[in-house]
Amino acid sequence: MGIRPSVGRTGVCWDDAMVESLFGALKNELVHRTVFPSREHARRTIVRYIEIFYNRKRLHSGLGYKTPAEV
Q: Tell me the HSE value of 40 on the side-chain side, using a 13 A CA sphere.
A: 0
- The structure's pTM equals 0.69
pLDDT band at 68 (very low <50, low <70, confident <90, very high): confident
Other C-beta atoms closer than 10 Å to the C-beta of 13 total: 9
Percent of the chain with pLDDT over 90: 54
Average pLDDT, the chain: 87
Once rounded to an integer, what is the mean pLDDT over residues 52-56? 91
